[in-house]
Amino acid sequence: MYDIEVAVRAHARLGEGTVWDADAQVLWWVDIWSREIHRFEPRTGKHCQWQTPHEPGSLALRSNGNGLVVAMSNAIHCFDPSTGMFTLLREAYDANWPARFNDGRTDRQGRFWAGSTDTRENAPAEPVAALYRLDTATHLTLQLDRLFCSNGLAWSPDGTRMYHADSHLRRVWCCDFDTATGELAQRRLFIDMSEVGIPDGATTDAEGCYWIALWQAGRILRYDPDGDLMAQVELPTRAPTCCEFGGENLDVLYVSTANLQRGALSTDVTDPLAGSVLAMDARVRGVRSMPYCG
C-alpha cells in the first residue's frame, strides 16, 4: 500500500500538466476547463492561481527563473507570474482548427514538447491532433500528426527514449530519441492499454520506470522499461490526469485530478476529492524536470 494524502483540496474541473520547480520547491499545474494556472508551495501551504485567456493544456518552467512557457489553445505563450501577463511565442495552427493543446513537457535538454487533442465530440475518421517540438531557438516543428489525443509524454532518465500516448487509441509508444537534435526514430508500441484503461499524463522515475495516470479508472500504473507492469496504485478519486515527482528528494508523486461532471463548478458529492491534487510516497526518486531554455 502507498501512503496517499491530499496536497491541495481544490475543485479543478480538469486539473492537468503538473510540473515541479526543484529550486523554488513549488508545484505548478493547470485547470484546463476553468482556464487557470495554479502554484502550490508545500512548505507553507500557500496556493496561488492566475486566469488565462485561453484553455491551458500544459506548461514548463523557463530558464533563469524567467516565468513559464504555456501551451494554450492553438499557440504557445510566455507567462510572467509577477504581472499575470502573457506574451505570444509561436502559433501552431489556425484558431479555427478543431484541436487545442493538451499534454506537454520538456525533454532532458530543455526543448518544450506539446501535443494537442481533437476537440470534435465524435471521434473522426481523420484525426487532426498532433505533437509539436519547440526548440531552444523558439523554432516550432511538427513531430507527429494524425493523433486523436496526444498524452503521456515522458523521457527515460538518460533522455535516449521518449514515451508518448494517444488516449483515444489506448496505446503508449516509445521512440529512440536523439538527445543532440531532438529527432525521433523507431517508433514502436510500448503498452497496449485497450484492456487496461485510458492513458493520460505520465512521468518516469530514476530507475527508468514509466508512471501513467488512468483517466476515469482511479489508478496510477508503473511499468518497467520493457513494458511490464510493476505496480498499481489505487487512488481515492476516479479521474487522475497527470503525475510528477517532487519534494526535497524527488520522492513524492503529485497527481492532478479532474471532476468527471464536465460542467460542474462544485464538488461531485460522489467523488469529493475530484479536482484536488494528491501526494504519495513513491518509494523511488524521480528525475528533475528541465526548464525550457528558449
What amino acid positions are annotated as catalytic residues? 200
Residue 197 corresponds to which cell in the numbers above? Answer: 484503461
Residue 278 corresponds to which cell in the numbers above? Answer: 494528491
Residue 66 corresponds to which cell in the numbers above? Answer: 524567467
Residue 30 corresponds to which cell in the numbers above? Answer: 493547470
- From the number of C-beta atoms within 10 Å of its C-beta (0-12, 13-18, 19+), residue 98 rates as middle
Residue 43 corresponds to which cell in the numbers above? Answer: 512548505
**130-151: b or e for each residue (b if 16 or more CB lie within 10 Å)?**
bbbbbbeeeebeebbeebbbbb
Please give the single-letter amino acid code of residue 29. Answer: W
CA dist 47 and 110 (Å) reads: 26
CA dist 139 and 136 (Å) reads: 7
Give the containing element (helix H, strand E) for 164: strand 161-166
Q: What 3-state DSSP class applies to 65?
A: helix
Q: Specify whether the CB–CB gap between 17 and 57 falls below 8 A.
A: yes
Give the list of residues 6+ apart from residue 1 with CB closer than 8 angstroms, or none: none
Nearest to 273 by CA among 220, 237, 240, 242: 237
Going from the C-alpha of 106 to that of each of 70, 102, 208, 291, the distances in angstroms are 11, 14, 17, 7
Give the containing element (helix H, strand E) for 59: strand 56-61
Give me the half-sphere count of Cα atoms (radius 13 Å) on the Cβ side of residue 166.
18
